[in-house]
Amino acid sequence: LLYLAPLTTVGNLPFRRVCKRMGADVTIGEMALTTNLLMGQPSEWALLRRHPEEKMFGIQICGGYGDSVTRCVELLDRECDFDFVDINMGCPIDLVCNKGAGSSLLRKPKRIEQLVRAASSVLTKPLTVKMRTGWDDNTPVAHDVISQLHQWGASAVTLHGRTRQQRYTKLADWDYISQCVRGSNPGLQVIGNGDIFSYKDYLAAKNSGVSSVMIARGALVKPWVFTEIKEQRDWDISGTERLEMIKSFCNFGLEHWGSDHKGVENTRRFLLEWMSYLHKYIPLGLLEVVPQKLHWRPPAYTCRNDREQMLSSDNPEDWIKVTSMLLGPPPENFSFVPKHKSNSYASEGAAALEDING
């Protein structure tokens, strides 16, 4: 099974439908904060919506305290349609960590045990965990935690092969992921996460012993990576095919957010957020070395036709023109700045995407 990672903002329901049609097997909703869910915030509950096409669907929650996590899980178990609940222990952003959740839990293994035991005891469906290798580069803790997760009540763990400190500044450590797999209970599925961007990356990752892989940024830049993995090939997708995929997103967006003015503008905004990643794809036929790696900075290149050139532009004004073609002109004085600060392939700002994905 191929997993699409939970991705804040960009991992919305229309995007997940695109990835499902490209071959993703398991999808997970955007990270929802337990405190906001318990307060009944409609915008937070909206993150938990599942589409019928999502045959295997998980809800990801983020909280740092056993009582609130347990009450939230009980509520979800009663009210929501899902196949498993995932607890986020990888989110690196300060807003989350300062509340004792996300990556900050990696400094408190006893708290992790408390959360997993409490949540699994009230949940009628499987509980999973998503985590990083540790808080900082000097103190990896995942191997200790993973060796005990199954006895605490978890069914699976996704391990992103970076510390909180690293963000995206180094490659994911698949050797360490392999070490964690070897030390895990046979009853625990270990899913690997980090830098999967082609079927060759997938095959290399499987050599670490993981049950499967979860794909995050790679799916934002190249949603057809799921097709490539399943068909074991590098797909030289055309500009026309990529534009058809974007059209599908627009149709799914209008269906999800509505076709009135507000729905159209929601679809436009979320499409623009996605295009801030999508444009980083380098057409396969232009590469001297195949396949492209996720961390590569592309050299200047000339596309094969106008459609490719349009979709490869790093100028937000050009992205807005694409949305105008598909959704009509934007409101007067419309402008767009991506929510994430990343303008590079391995910057700290990319973490605003991440857990986004943990």
Hey, which residues are catalytic here? 91
Q: What gap in Å lies between CA 353 and CA 194, rounded to an integer? A: 14
- Please report where in the chains the tokens 């073609």 appear, as a residue: 325
Query: What CA–CA distances, in Å, run from 76 to 38, 72, 100?
Result: 10, 6, 21
Degrees, nearest 5: CA angle 9-336-37: 25
**What's the N-to-C CA distance of the chain in angstroms?**
20
Q: What gap in Å lies between CA 331 and CA 327, rounded to an integer? A: 11
- Please report where in the chains the tokens 């939230």 appear, as a residue: 72
Query: What CA–CA distances, in Å, run from 332 to 117, 271, 307?
Result: 53, 18, 26
**Which parts of the chain are beta strand (E)?**
2-4, 26-28, 32-33, 56-62, 84-89, 127-132, 156-160, 189-193, 212-215
Q: What gap in Å lies between CA 236 and CA 36, rounded to an integer? A: 43
Q: What gap in Å lies between CA 37 and CA 72, rounded to an integer? A: 7
